[in-house]
Structure 1
Amino acid sequence: MAEYDITAVINGHAEGLIAQPSLCSLSKAVASARSSGLRVEPLAILDRPNPITLEVFAEYARIEPELRIEIVEHGDLGFSRNSAVEKSRGKWIAFLDADDLWGADWLIRAHAAAEADPRKIVWHPEVCAYFGVTPYVFLHIDMEDPSFCIADLGYTNLWTSLCFTAADLLRAVPYAGTDLKNGIGYEDWCWNVDVLHSGGIHKIVPSTAHAIRTKGVSLVKQTSAADSIPRPSDYFRKLIAARRM
């Protein structure tokens, strides 16, 4: 049996001072979940952190000593998420990047949805409010919504990486690394497809939201500038073959 109900993971690398609001967001969500009776493990995975980011997290850990900080040397966000899964002690895992924000009740609502549905599901917030350099609002779609079209996933990513799902699912379907030199990127998009290939689905938790920071320089923009595509998958080939039968 897992030691915790939820492992709340925050991934960081070179966010510096802007990690402070994200850590506060993590703290509020963890405190809210604990007040509802959930056992929550806060876990920070820092991948080749620069000095100021390491200092911000270390200072926060002095205030919140239950935050466990693990340093990794991947230089790859997908592999960093895999390390979080390896080191987690929760039944469920929730991801937060160190420049983004959760809704304060995210862990409570996502946990309730996950516990109520035994299927192989990755849970996402209903709304993502992007702020910063390029503000906009993005609505996640539930795969069981009648308007959902699987073909859309072939040309765009439909769900962000700040998901909530079972640790067992993440162990069975790990993230693939990126290789921008050879045009392979979008580890979260690739993983979303891999979940479907494994028999899972993506759903939303109604009335929930995340806030996503947009910056002048980001991994997504670097990936786009490199003319990268997601790692090829057999999933769409199998869909097409099934339709021909």
Structure 2
Amino acid sequence: MTTDLTLIVTAHDETAVCGPTMRSADLAVAAARAAGLTVQTVIGLDRATDATTAYVRQPRFDHWERWEYDEGDLGRVRNAMLPRTDGRLIAFLDADDLFSENWLAEAVVALDAAAERGERAIAHPELNMVFDGTRSVLVNIPDDSPLFTPHYLYVRHCYDSLCMAPREAHLEIPYVSRDVPNGLSYQDFQFTIETLDAGWRHLVVPDTIIFKRRRDYSLVTESNTRKSVVRSLPAMAIDRVRTLGAGR
């Protein structure tokens, strides 16, 4: 029988901050299962430090599958894990972030409703609350909103790397590798552009939240410091960009 959802937590150099993350994930998984969903839970250790590996190897996490990789890249490890997963839907969480208890269950409902309407869709939480190194609250805008404009993608990403999508979305459009030394990064940003261009809707699930930890050093801060950009994409050509998004 096909599993409804696979939740993947990716871990690299996190230790104690994994505790709140895993508590958050376990609560959301419990809520999804209470709603009648089947959920596979996996921790992906990608070139994880010894301390991080030791932390997630604790017996308290024995109800999670733990897979080890040597990719050294968030996009590549997600791509590598995908063929081993069981879920018809895939959700990701970084090991230093958290999400609201209702996120998994509500996102599945939203994606199943989209599928019934004949839409290919990817789901995002409504709010992105950034904490720790900085504090801010970002409101995510669905691509069918009057407030959404694809031209905004010239300036910054509309969403975050945390999302839930049918597995075929990731098989159709795998993440690219980052190349920060040469100024190329933001794999999730490129994934959004490429999926919009391929006709995938980007939905926002009301009353759901990601709590995004902004550490002093991370892939995002490194990319920002180096003034990295997204690769040049045909979909962002000035005569095409306006067609990105629902109904365009």
Structure 1: unaligned runs, 5 residues or longer: none
Q: Deviations over 1:9-37 (max 9, x none)?
A: 10110011111111111111111111111
CA contact (8 A) 2:150 2:241 kept: no
Instruction: Name the counterpart of 1:96.
Output: 93
Map 1:1-245 to 2 at 5 A.
2=2, 4-59=3-58, 62-118=59-115, 119-237=119-237, 239-240=239-240
Q: CA deviation at 1:214?
A: 1.0
Distance in structure 1 (CA, Å) of the matches to 2:31 and 2:205: 17
Number of residue pairs aligned between Structure 1 and Structure 2: 240
Q: CA deviation at 1:84?
A: 2.6
Q: Deviations over 1:110-145 (max 9, x none)?
A: 000011111111100111111101011010011110
Q: 1:181 to 1:63 in 2, by over 3 A?
A: same
Q: CA deviation at 1:225?
A: 1.4
Distance in structure 2 (CA, Å) of the matches to 1:180 and 1:224: 10
Q: Deviations over 1:99-118 (max 9, x none)?
A: 00010111110000011111
SS in 1 for 2:142: coil
Distance in structure 2 (CA, Å) of the matches to 1:180 and 1:64: 33
CA contact (8 A) 1:17 1:52 kept: no
Distance in structure 2 (CA, Å) of the matches to 1:19 and 1:93: 20
Distance in structure 1 (CA, Å) of the matches to 2:65 and 2:131: 28
Q: 1:105 to 1:234 in 2, by over 3 A?
A: same
Return structure 1 stretches of 4+ with deviation > 4 angstroms.
none
Structure 2: unaligned runs, 5 residues or longer: 244-248
CA contact (8 A) 2:150 2:242 kept: no
Q: Deviations over 1:190-244 (max 9, x none)?
A: 111111122112110011111111111111110111221112211122843988x
Q: Give the AA of the match of 1:216.
A: D
Which shifted more, 219-228 or 108-117?
219-228
Q: Give the AA of the match of 2:32.
A: A
SS in 2 for 1:117: helix
Q: Percent identity?
A: 30
CA contact (8 A) 1:32 1:108 kept: yes
Distance in structure 1 (CA, Å) of the matches to 2:54 and 2:233: 40
SS in 2 for 1:230: coil
Q: Give the AA of the match of 2:209.
A: A
CA contact (8 A) 2:90 2:164 kept: yes
Instruction: Name the counterpart of 2:246.
Output: none
SS in 2 for 1:178: coil
SS in 2 for 1:138: strand
Distance in structure 2 (CA, Å) of the matches to 1:178 and 1:232: 13
Q: 1:241 to 1:128 in 2, by over 3 A?
A: closer
CA contact (8 A) 2:90 2:165 kept: yes
Distance in structure 1 (CA, Å) of the matches to 2:81 and 2:38: 17
Q: 1:242 to 1:34 in 2, by over 3 A?
A: closer
CA contact (8 A) 2:151 2:242 kept: no
Aligned-residue Cα RMSD (Å) equals 1.5
Q: Give the AA of the match of 2:64.
A: L
Distance in structure 1 (CA, Å) of the matches to 2:182 and 2:9: 28
SS in 1 for 2:221: helix
Distance in structure 1 (CA, Å) of the matches to 2:10 and 2:61: 17
